[in-house]
Structure 1
Amino acid sequence: MTITEVSEKFDISQDTLRYYERIGLLPRVNRNKSRIRDYTEDDCKWVEFIKCMRSAGLPIEVLIEYIGLFQQGDETIDARKELFIEQRKLLITRMEDMRKTLERMDYKIAMFERAIVEKEKELIRPEE
Structure 2
Amino acid sequence: MSQSLTQTRYTISEVEARTGLTQHTLRWYERIGLMPHVDRSHSGQRRFSDKDLGWLAFVGKLRTTGMSVADMVRYAELVREGEHTFDERRELLERTRRDVRARIAELTDALEVLDYKIGTYAMNPVAGKAEQ
The bucket for the TM-score relative to the shorter chain is 0.7 to 0.9
Q: 2-side partners of 1:62 and 1:41: how far apart?
A: 24
2:108 alignment partner, one of 70, 85, 99: 99
Instruction: Give the number of equivalent residue pairs.
Output: 118
2:29 alignment partner, one of 20, 27, 30: 20
Q: 2-side partners of 1:37 and 1:7: how far apart?
A: 12
Q: Which residue of 1 is the match for residue 67 of structure 2?
A: 58
Q: 1-side partners of 2:15 and 2:115: how far apart?
A: 38
RMSD: 1.7
Residues 1:81 and 2:93 are matched in the alignment: no
Q: 1-side partners of 2:121 and 2:25: how far apart?
A: 40
Q: 1-side partners of 2:21 and 2:65: how far apart?
A: 15
Identify unmatched segments of 5+ residues in structure 1.
Answer: 120-128
Q: Which residue of 2 is the match for residue 112 of structure 1?
A: 121
Q: 1-side partners of 2:30 and 2:50: how far apart?
A: 16
TM-score by length of 2: 0.80
Q: Which residue of 2 is the match for residue 125 of structure 1?
A: none
Structure with higher Rg: it is 1
Identify unmatched segments of 5+ residues in structure 2.
Answer: 1-9, 128-132
Residues 1:67 and 2:76 are matched in the alignment: yes
TM-score by length of 1: 0.82
Residues 1:48 and 2:64 are matched in the alignment: no
> How far 1:25 moved relative to its partner?
0.3
Q: Which amino acid aligns with 1:96?
A: A
> How far 1:115 moved relative to its partner?
4.3
% identical aligned pairs: 34
